[in-house]
Amino acid sequence: MSEFRRDAACVVGIGHSAYGTRGSLAPLGLGRIALDAVLDACADAGLDAPDIDGFAGYCDDPTWPADLAVALGTKEFRYSGLVWGGRGSGVPGAVANAYAAVATGLADYVVVVRSLIQQARLGQSVAAGVQPGQAIPLAASYTAPFGMALPAAIYALKARRHMALYGTTTDQFAEVTINARRNAVNNPDARFREEITVEEHHASRLVCDPLRLLDCCMESDGAAALIVTTPERARDLRHPPVSIRAVATTGEYKWATASFNTIDEDYVSTGHRRAARDLYHRAGLGPDDVDVALFYDGFTPSVIMSLEDWGFCDIGEGGPFVADGGIRREGRLPVNTHGGNLAEVYLQGITHLLEGVRQLRGTAINQIADASVALYASGVGASPGGGVLLSR
Amino acid sequence: MSDAVNRPAGMPDPVVAPINEGMWRAAAAGRLDVQRCASCGAHRYPPTDGCYRCGSVRWDWSTLPGTGTVYSYIWVPDRTRTGTPEAPAVYNVAVVTLEGTEGDPARILSNVIDAWSPDDLHVGDRVALAPVGFGDGDDLALPCFRMLS
């Protein structure tokens, strides 16, 4: 593997649009909320919006950079890059594109942006993004006809085998949501700010046994953005930069999107063990150096498997790790200190990166004292996913 | 419910294409056919254009014994049926590791059509092919499974 140039780019601005319930921002439209997020990030950075000269997106984002560039008054449109594939696994890929673009001189200021309005209900699709009655793509022919319909089902299959192999319990899944809700209580941007109990979790509607409604993230609308530039350019901007220490987008062998046919040792995972290996190697850091972890939490088993995949415990020990409060703010590894997809908003991962930046700036609502390294890790999705290590 | 089949209602039919038509037709004839590399003999599923093991693009259909082992499974509420608190209306989706394959284990995602309640299915249970037809004729079927007791 080639040597990675670490700390070659940094985050200088973060921003987001208004957040809303599923479909509520449709009257504004994707372009407008994306613009709101980019402008908010520019204001945060102290950067003139027309100086943005690059765009990085993921999750097959339908908001075209060319349209955004016109709305922003972009003077020089130098770069755009998209990461293919759904379910939000592509955040590190978008960061990698932005990182590579500014580090190599393809562009000066690249904005990573994601805007989402859930008019098509991801939570009720019969195949990735396909609504009942619509034609399915060829690749869904081996899943959708068998009722493999809900995004939750992908995690539920992994959760069941995790339970069978390691004795993981639904109480432990519940603890992931309990933690997310607890962290969202004082977050004014969060949708679900009431704490829940294990009993309330177990009483919630069965979505896809072993997963219940309170194992699932919300359906929501919104947009978020972060601005990436070089450390040299960052000196002229408003905040001390948060360095992108390293990024890795390594996918697993035979993962693709049909993750039921990985090799055995990869199945009960989020699909990022090779990415974790590469990320820590590139960063010259390890799990012990991480002060805050932002784990993609579309569904609760994602957090438990991420703890294992990213080396915070042995394989199979993710359940006990959360059971004794390990992921709470006071625990061994504070996780999703903003509430995450389960409690704050579901924007397919990018809001977790915003929280990582706030933690390292020292401006988070649930600030972890002296946080200097934050990890973002993708969930289960189309390969490649991966991770990002931020540092100050 | 001995003659009934536990399958989700309202799900789309698969797309029938050159790369998969053989398996739907085989299932309708009571066989489980999956792709086998014509160069190195590795089986693979779901269908892909190239062999993961040797890179060859030449392949044939290969008939497997049709038996397998439950690797994982889930139960999903079936809103088209009325259940009771004791016997909720649920269908299963199961990942089955197929027997008789060469190469990396080949798993198929399917339904165990004679399993009706969460107590019926466990990781490690053995199952066998039980095709369920789709489309207008009788020449295409989904490779579903039944319990082997």
| Mean pLDDT of the residues in chain A | 94
What's the confidence (pLDDT) of residue B55? Answer: 96
Q: How far apart are CA B22 and CA B38, in angstroms?
A: 15
Q: Where do the H-state alpha helices sit in A109-224?
A: 151-166, 170-184, 198-203
What's the count of helices (H) and strands (E) in chain A, helices before strands?
13, 12
**Mean pLDDT along residues A14-38:** 97
**Going along chain A, which residue ranges are E strands?**
9-16, 20-21, 54-57, 79-82, 110-116, 206-208, 211-212, 220-229, 242-248, 292-295, 373-377, 387-391
What's the confidence (pLDDT) of residue B122? Answer: 97
Contact (Cβ atoms closer than 8 angstroms) between residue A389 and residue A285: yes
Residues of chain B in contact with residue A209, where contact means CB-CB under 8 angstroms, are: 74-76, 90, 118
Annotated catalytic, A280?
no
Spatial CA neighbour of A341 closest among A301, A383, A291 = A301
Q: How far apart are CA A10 and CA A246, in angstroms?
A: 10
What's the confidence (pLDDT) of residue B2? Answer: 53
Residue partners of A186: CB distance under 8 A and separation at least 6: A193, A365, A366
What's the confidence (pLDDT) of residue A263? Answer: 87
What's the confidence (pLDDT) of residue A150? Answer: 82
Q: What is the pLDDT of residues B30-55, one digit of tens each?
A: 999 999 999 999 999 999 999 999 99
Annotated catalytic, A267?
no
The CATH T-level fold of domain A9-120+217-391 is Peroxisomal Thiolase; Chain A, domain 1 (3.40.47)
A167 in contact with B, Cβ within 8 Å:
no
What's the confidence (pLDDT) of residue B7? Answer: 95
What's the confidence (pLDDT) of residue A129? Answer: 62
Regarding beta strands B126-129 and B132-133, do their DSSP bridges make them parallel or antiparallel, or are they unpaired?
A: unpaired
For the ranges A33-42, A373-382, B80-89, the maximum mean pLDDT occurs at A33-42
Residue A258 to residue B142, Cβ atoms within 8 A: no
Residue in A144, A156, A208 closest to B11 by CB:
A144
What's the confidence (pLDDT) of residue B81? Answer: 87
- Residue A128's pLDDT band (boundaries 50, 70, 90)? low
Q: What is the pLDDT of residues A160-204, one digit of tens each?
A: 999 999 999 999 999 999 999 999 999 999 999 999 999 999 999
Q: What is the pLDDT of residues A63-90, one digit of tens each?
A: 999 999 999 999 999 999 999 987 778 9
Residue B10 to residue A132, Cβ atoms within 8 A: yes
Residues of chain B in contact with residue A263, where contact means CB-CB under 8 angstroms, are: 104-105
State how far the alpha carbon of A161 is from the alpha carbons of A47, A260, B7, in Å: 49, 11, 22
Catalytic residue among A19, A99, A155, A296: A296
Q: Which A residues, 112 through 131, put their C-beta within 8 Å of a C-beta on chain B?
A: 126-127, 130
State how far residue B74 is from chain A, nearest Cα, in angstroms.
5
Residue in A135, A141, A209 closest to B20 by CB:
A141
Q: What is the pLDDT of residues B73-132, one digit of tens each?
A: 999 999 888 888 888 899 999 999 999 999 999 999 999 999 999 999 999 999 999 999
A1 in contact with B, Cβ within 8 Å:
no
Does the pLDDT value for residue A12 go beyond 60? yes
The domain locations on chain A are 9-120+217-391
Spatial CA neighbour of A110 closest among A119, A97, A122, A123 = A97
Q: How far apart are CA B14 and CA A142, in angstroms?
A: 7
Does the pLDDT value for residue A304 go beyond 60? yes
Q: Which chain B residue's Cα is nearest to A264?
A: B105
What's the confidence (pLDDT) of residue A256? Answer: 76
**Mean pLDDT along residues A44-56:** 98
Spatial CA neighbour of A342 closest among A130, A173, A154 = A173
Does the pLDDT value for residue A257 go beyond 70? no
Residue in B10, B104, B107 closest to A260 by CB:
B107
Q: How far apart are CA A323 and CA B27, in angstroms?
A: 45
Q: What percent of chain A has pLDDT over 90?
A: 86
